[in-house]
Amino acid sequence: MRYITLCAFVVVALVLTACTGGGVLPYTLAAESMLPEFLHDAAPTVREAYRFAIENAHELGNYPCYCGCGKMGHTSNLDCYIQNIDEVSQITFDQHAAGCGICVDITQDAMHMLREGRSSAEIRVYVDATYSAFGPSTDTPTPEG
């Protein structure tokens, strides 16, 4: 019986390692409980993108958005998710990304490329090349490195 349990554990561990591209993700996601009520029925990719934005604001701020949200005052893809994080880490969410596929696609692409080990600069080049046809960019400084 122990042998079967051990074999099952090894198989599960190998599957999980394969699914994460090596085991350890290069980023963390916020807990589901941190998500605002307006995301209760949102698609899993949207919820995951918001969870990424909460825990990886510094990273997501490196990438522009190309959905036209610069007209709303957004300066990066991060602004599509989060309006403000105050001095006690209280988050004011932006609902924009909950209804915008371009915002979420940019974030999902960044997450995927981070899992591949790509740098912020490489991801930025990809985002610019892939999404510039959709609309004007937010005024996002280029990351170093």
pLDDT, one tens digit per residue, over 108-141 is 999 999 999 999 999 999 999 999 999 999 999 9
Phi and psi at 52, nearest 5°, equal: -65, -45
The secondary element (H helix, E strand) that includes residue 91 is strand 91-93
Phi and psi at 139, nearest 5°, equal: -85, 80
List pLDDT tens digits, range 24-73: 889 999 999 999 999 999 999 999 999 999 999 999 999 999 999 999 99
Spatial CA neighbour of 105 closest among 71, 80, 85, 125: 80
Q: What is the pTM of this model?
A: 0.82
Cα gap 114→96, rounded to integer Å: 24
Flag whether pLDDT at 19 surpasses 80. no
What is the model's pLDDT at position 143? Answer: 81
Flag whether pLDDT at 99 surpasses 70. yes
